[in-house]
Amino acid sequence: MTTLHGVYAQKIYLLAVGVADYPGEKNDLKLPAKDARTIKWLYEQNKRAETKLLTDANATKANIISEMNNVYRKAETDDIIVLYFSGHGMPGVFCAYDTDISYEDVRKAMAGSASKHKMIFADACFSGNMRSERGNSGNNSARNDLDVMLFLSSRNNETSIESSYFANGYFTTALQQGLRGKADKNEDRTITAKELFTFVSEVVKNLSNDKQHPVMWGNFSDDMPVIIW
């Protein structure tokens, strides 16, 4: 069992969601289902990780929330829980296969877990405004973060870029590189929130010619463990 500043990092619980094939044709994307499978594969290389994948028609709002509850309730205090989402996004929401899933929906599902290391990775357009709730009638979203780290692919006025030259979106390309070890600046086999943000931000900025800028926020420390190898 690995320690970080006295904290025992035990297991990682990941739910990876990717929606490329939306109902009809006009809203379809190319890469999100591949993105989710890439992240699931990456976490499966970690012996401490338990993973679940939902893509396309299986990634309904009900299924996503149900699996979050099923997967995350297994976590103990020092475990890590992760939601990865790739697909369409709008201010305050992710677009599941059938309808919107809000930050409040995600927060409530995560709040039911005993884990104190909660994180969301989102490769979705306008995801930087994730905490801006539509129809939230004045709730204090910062108060509601409950120690959730949000690492979002773009600012609230930016799209998340796909390119035919890459197997994944720019954010997911950089994220999986960072999680695999390239973000581990001090080479201690523990990738922290600050290390991951620094690496991914620079890579995405370069790939996008300064058109896409990931953002990270929430109530967490810079040295919170994101993944431990």
Tell me the C-alpha distance between 211 and 153, whole Å.
Answer: 11
Q: What is the number of structural domains in the chain? A: 1
Q: Are 212 and 158 in contact (CB under 8 A)?
A: yes
> For 36-51, what is each residue's pLDDT tens digit?
999 999 999 999 999 9
Look at residue 138 and tell me whether its pLDDT is greater than 80.
no
Q: Predicted confidence band at 199 (pLDDT cuts at 50, 70, 90)?
A: very high
Count the helix, strand and coil residues of the chain and give each as a percent rounded to the nearest 5.
30, 25, 45
Q: Predicted confidence band at 103 (pLDDT cuts at 50, 70, 90)?
A: confident
**CA-wise closest residue to 92 among 64, 140, 126, 66:** 126
Range of the domain at 81: 2-228
Look at residue 7 and tell me whether its pLDDT is greater than 60.
no
Look at residue 120 and tell me whether its pLDDT is greater than 60.
yes
Share the mean pLDDT of the chain: 87
Tell me the C-alpha distance between 76 and 39, whole Å.
Answer: 22
Give the CATH number, domain containing residue 14. 3.40.50.1460
Packing angle of the helix pair 193-207, 170-177 (nearest 10 deg): 140
* Mean pLDDT of the region 138-165: 69
190 pairs with which residues across the strands? 228
89 pairs with which residues across the strands? 94
